[in-house]
Chains A and B, each alone.
Chain A
């Protein structure tokens, strides 16, 4: 099988997996990084969202070969040791999670959005977020994104 090299949360990794295997499963099954979740496998629910070279991606739609040479950030790599990222802190302050399963993806999406918009983020921008939360935590996600925008 082909080998691919990339970084995950700042660490160099080398994997030996089929070229077509989605990055989500490379992370979960091979690298044992389980923050990114499977919810649909077709890029719709976005529970697997991570950053690739600082851009938001749905890792279930990224092939292993397309991860080669890139930098991947998962929820596990967002905090600076014990110091949480402002989005993570806002998620706690606003008591956003319920079951918590989609929240790694929600947080990574919010990080990407705020990296782009900063404190200019509007309700209309937040409305465009497509991540599914089956527990329905959307109201608090909206509040948390606004809070994080002020603290980033």
Chain B
């Protein structure tokens, strides 16, 4: 990220290297030879072919998952990545992704330090501006970032290392085989040492290195696999980590947008005569989403916005509230032909409702824009910055748009959309000044994006304790995939021969699967188009509700079969990796221990992103209105674990998401408007809602590639909590959040 020139900027910018003299780049990432087409066999081939009249695909996520699609889509442009060496002996890498708290920067530091033999403190990872030439290689989504960089970044660093060693061997006239890279330098016989900075220029000229440029084997890892504290931890705890809202922009004004009272409402007219002469007023501007009120100070902008007189036309769904939407969804999930009927077995057929959920990152939606002289410069935390560039250009009619990506104060999928940046550019163009545009918290909750409401219908037939067929229909208000990620999914997946379904359908089929042997298994997604409601992918997308509905049915079948719910899962789990995490969770979490009345345990298993987790929770629901998860034990198999501390953090975050969305945090729509406004009523879990006893264990490597972990915790913890609540209260929860 590039910081703007400022009038108050102190001498040490958070980005660190801007003042460092760039020396050279020693290696670019190689173009990897990954086939652009999958060759599918058997069931997957059948799934990929069009079948007349058939809507749902059997799950393909076990064979090809979304991360594979990302790997294919990003491979052609990996050669545009560069490792830069600076005169102060730092290694600098521009990461075309967004750091939102998921620990990606730290994982990248570790990967590069490992292969280079660099100190982790000498590896500087900065967020890249929008680079259209990277095509599909600049999306942060679907727990795929570490997976996509795993091979090319290590190969790039290994190449750089081989060149640095070759340069040192020439300099000292010794055999390259006698040299090693360590401590951000090359070390040779007799203790001689040269820093990377001293060797970089010569190393860049090496065409054929004298030592193999082969990435290390896992058994040789010194950095990867050991827990590393976040590389920006010190900056954060001293208040020096800067977010877009902290940028200091000379001569800028602050803008707050007055938005319609109902979703999708439209501006008819406004009158700013009452505020024009108030101190601090800097102008108003009509923009696509409402009326922007500009002022000198943020507080003034917020206060003036309250006083603006506006006439609105109501939005398109003022005749609808949450209950109406849930009824439509239930109708969709139940209106299609039930594919499997079992005449001689028992049947279970249940429906589950899930409310809308706000992304609600701690940092409200915020962006800075400076539009002048036919060009625009924008600062925004964007998961899809190229798309931001295109959208801004289209909106304000300016072709030269520079997008700087800033770290995000949380995202959870929210920053796939860059609406604040578009608005800031509109306002800056209208008033001719740099603009810092902020959404108030109420705006963020009421007009921001949401995980769509959904209804799940799960139907299973079973006999003698064995499930013979399993059908899961998910009906959801359509998830908005119109950000650039949708293009990536459809173009890459269609090219690979998987199918020509809309983006949401493809995403669903590339991520969802049932981890148990349940006979004939059919899963499907049915989208409901609903005008006015702003939806978007929310951490774990479909899985956060999908897994919960299934877990409750699994528990109920186990109970009818007289089986223990954990053992029932163990007996039916498809993979050995799944069985291993379950067994460990059961043993380490003391599954089956006696609990007082109103308390219970719950357990779940989830497999996605080539990772697997099991979660065991204990709940105290003796007051069903105020349940408390008192203990959680999570076991995670992340394939090749890169940063166990980071993996634990992600699972802990997923647990908190699950506690919140299963037990008490959701969004109501009343007559076409969002009811909740802040964390006071969209009641996100606080310290007192989370378990005092928490243990997370990361399994030793089970594969040679890292799996995704950013979203894995939400579904597995959600399923365990819902089951624990059901067992503790003796109820059958069917609507979430439970206390809403």
- Asked whether A and B interact, the reply is yes
- Show the binding face of A for B, using Cβ within 8 Å: 1, 17-18, 21-22, 25, 28-30, 32, 34-35, 37-42, 44-45, 47, 74-76, 78-79, 84, 88, 91-93, 95-104, 107, 123, 126-142
**Stretch in B320-328, B359-367, B520-528, B594-602 with 4+ CB within 8 Å of A:** B359-367
Nearest A-chain residue to B657, judged by Cβ: A136
B492 at the interface (CB under 8 A from A): no
Determine if A138 and B101 form an interchain contact, defined as CB atoms under 8 angstroms apart. Answer: no
Asked, given contacts A91-B233, A132-B684, A134-B360, whether A40 binds B655 with beta carbons under 8 Å apart, the answer is no
Instruction: Please give the distance in Å from A64's CB to the nearest CB on chain B.
Output: 9
B319 at the interface (CB under 8 A from A): no
Determine if B692 and A100 form an interchain contact, defined as CB atoms under 8 angstroms apart. Answer: no
Across-interface contacts of B363 in A (CB, < 8 A): 37, 39, 99, 101
Across-interface contacts of A96 in B (CB, < 8 A): 233, 237
Q: A99–B246 Cα gap in the complex (Å)? A: 14
Question: Out of B238, B297, B361, B694, which one reaches A21, CB within 8 Å?
Answer: B297
Determine if B679 and A44 form an interchain contact, defined as CB atoms under 8 angstroms apart. Answer: yes
Q: A25–B302 Cα gap in the complex (Å)? A: 11
Across-interface contacts of A84 in B (CB, < 8 A): 234, 237-238
Determine if A42 and B238 form an interchain contact, defined as CB atoms under 8 angstroms apart. Answer: no
Q: A45–B362 Cα gap in the complex (Å)? A: 8
Q: A20–B238 Cα gap in the complex (Å)? A: 28
Across-interface contacts of A129 in B (CB, < 8 A): 686-688
B284 at the interface (CB under 8 A from A): no
Across-interface contacts of B102 in A (CB, < 8 A): 98
Determine if B688 and A128 form an interchain contact, defined as CB atoms under 8 angstroms apart. Answer: yes
Across-interface contacts of B684 in A (CB, < 8 A): 132, 134
Determine if B362 and A136 form an interchain contact, defined as CB atoms under 8 angstroms apart. Answer: no
Across-interface contacts of A100 in B (CB, < 8 A): 101, 232, 235-236, 241, 409
Question: Out of A34, A74, A101, A142, which one reaches B410, CB within 8 Å?
Answer: A101
Asked, given contacts A136-B653, A136-B656, whether A99 binds B410 with beta carbons under 8 Å apart, the answer is yes
| 10 smallest beta-carbon distances between A and B, as pairs | A136-B656, A35-B239, A99-B101, A101-B409, A100-B236, A98-B101, A75-B239, A34-B246, A127-B688, A25-B299
Determine if B238 and A79 form an interchain contact, defined as CB atoms under 8 angstroms apart. Answer: yes
Determine if A34 and B242 form an interchain contact, defined as CB atoms under 8 angstroms apart. Answer: yes
Across-interface contacts of B686 in A (CB, < 8 A): 129-132, 138
Q: What's the dominant secondary structure at chain B's contact region?
A: loop
The contact sample of 26 A-B pairs, CB cut-off 8 A, is A22-B299, A34-B245, A37-B362, A38-B438, A39-B441, A40-B678, A41-B302, A42-B441, A42-B678, A44-B679, A45-B441, A45-B679, A75-B238, A78-B238, A92-B237, A97-B237, A101-B243, A102-B409, A103-B237, A127-B692, A128-B688, A130-B686, A134-B410, A136-B653, A137-B653, A138-B687
Determine if B299 and A135 form an interchain contact, defined as CB atoms under 8 angstroms apart. Answer: no
Determine if A37 and B409 form an interchain contact, defined as CB atoms under 8 angstroms apart. Answer: yes
Determine if A37 and B245 form an interchain contact, defined as CB atoms under 8 angstroms apart. Answer: yes
Asked, given contacts A37-B409, A44-B679, whether A137 binds B649 with beta carbons under 8 Å apart, the answer is yes
B21 at the interface (CB under 8 A from A): no
Given A45-B441, A76-B240, 16 new contacts (CB under 8 A): A22-B299, A28-B246, A37-B245, A37-B362, A40-B441, A40-B678, A40-B680, A75-B238, A79-B238, A95-B649, A101-B243, A101-B361, A135-B410, A136-B690, A137-B652, A140-B652
B685 at the interface (CB under 8 A from A): yes
Cβ contacts B220-231/A at 8 Å (1 or 0 each): 000000010110
Across-interface contacts of A22 in B (CB, < 8 A): 299
B215 at the interface (CB under 8 A from A): no
Q: A151–B240 Cα gap in the complex (Å)? A: 24
Determine if B236 and A131 form an interchain contact, defined as CB atoms under 8 angstroms apart. Answer: no
Question: Out of A38, A47, A98, A102, which one reaches B653, CB within 8 Å?
Answer: A98
Across-interface contacts of A47 in B (CB, < 8 A): 362
Across-interface contacts of B657 in A (CB, < 8 A): 136
Q: A100–B237 Cα gap in the complex (Å)? A: 8
Enumerate B619-634 residues with CB–CB distance to A below 8 Å.
none
Determine if A34 and B645 form an interchain contact, defined as CB atoms under 8 angstroms apart. Answer: no
Determine if B230 and A29 form an interchain contact, defined as CB atoms under 8 angstroms apart. Answer: no
Nearest B-chain residue to A18, judged by Cβ: B279
Q: A25–B254 Cα gap in the complex (Å)? A: 12
B96 at the interface (CB under 8 A from A): no
Q: A134–B679 Cα gap in the complex (Å)? A: 10
Across-interface contacts of B438 in A (CB, < 8 A): 38
Instruction: Please give the distance in Å from B556's CB to the nearest CB on chain A.
Output: 29
Across-interface contacts of B579 in A (CB, < 8 A): none
Q: A96–B645 Cα gap in the complex (Å)? A: 10
Instruction: Please give the distance in Å from B241's CB to the nearest CB on chain A.
Output: 5
B735 at the interface (CB under 8 A from A): no
Instruction: Please give the distance in Å from A54's CB to the nearest CB on chain B.
Output: 18
Across-interface contacts of B360 in A (CB, < 8 A): 134
B188 at the interface (CB under 8 A from A): no
